[in-house]
Amino acid sequence: MGWLSISHGFTAEIMARQGFDALVVDMQHGLTDMNDVWPMLQAISQTETVPVVRVPWNDPATIMKVLDFGAYGVLIPLINTAEDAAKAVAACRYPPIGMRSSGPVRAIHYGGADYVAHANDEIVVMGMVETKEGLENLDAICATPGLDAVYIGPADLSFALGLPPRGDNPDPVHMATCDRIREAAHRAGKKACMHCASASFAAGAVKRGFDLVMLTSDLNSMIAGVRRQLDELKAATP
């Protein structure tokens, strides 16, 4: 899975053509606002890549709107309790399962005329466990009906463990906590997802049993590519 921090349809399209199974449009910490989401989803939908949106908060109105725009997965940050998880699930599911309002303004054109009939079974709901409270309620969160996956945000999880925030955190306590989250998810029949910053760390997460890994973002890839070229130029010239 890849990550989109830049709010532009062209970069979303280019990332979607690189072979990721899914791409996350980041509304929480990226540059993307609601008016940016639908053009990015349009760009992704030209490919086989699954469009996912990380909403900025566990807000039903925002969740429902990105689904109506055509997101096929929603990533909800800062899930701290089973009640938080149930609220997120309800916003993603049509009645009688949930409270999602009917009005898939773009989704029905992207997903097809039978979108509403299949949306409850096809939309993926991922909750981020990344706080002290979330860890305390981990098993209850994982047991939430309709929650498909638990997603680890490593930087906020570092805060929760009294560590400096960073991606690909090798600290033994952090690693053990991630494994604990994975095991709790699997016990509950849910998928476990790891947010990574490098291919080597992502490969290690797969070997440790994580079902889904986020590999890299458009922004980080651009920075890394530019820095590599500049470093090579400096090394090759006096």
pLDDT of res. 21: 98
Is 186 one of the annotated active-site residues of the chain?
no
Query: Which residues of the chain have a pLDDT value below 50?
Result: none
Give residue-wise pLDDT tens across range 181-202: 999 999 999 999 999 999 999 9
Give residue-wise pLDDT tens across range 49-86: 999 999 999 999 999 999 999 999 999 999 999 999 99
Domains of the chain and CATH, by start: 2-236 (3.20.20.60)
Peptide bond before residue 96 is cis, with ω within 30 degrees of 0 = yes
Q: Are 26 and 4 in contact (CB under 8 A)?
A: yes
Handedness of CA 160, 164, 167, 170 (dihedral sign): negative
pLDDT of res. 238: 82
Supply the pTM of this predicted model.
Answer: 0.97
Q: Determine the Cα–Cα distance for residues 131 and 210; give it in Å rounded to an integer.
A: 19
Helices and strands, number each (H, E), in the chain: 12, 8
Q: What is the mean pLDDT of the chain?
A: 97
Give residue-wise pLDDT tens across range 39-58: 999 999 999 999 999 999 99
What's the Cα-to-Cα distance from 202 to each of 15, 17, 52, 71, 211, rounded to whole Å? 18, 20, 19, 24, 11
Given the residues 29, 109, 174, 186, select the one marked as catalytic: 29
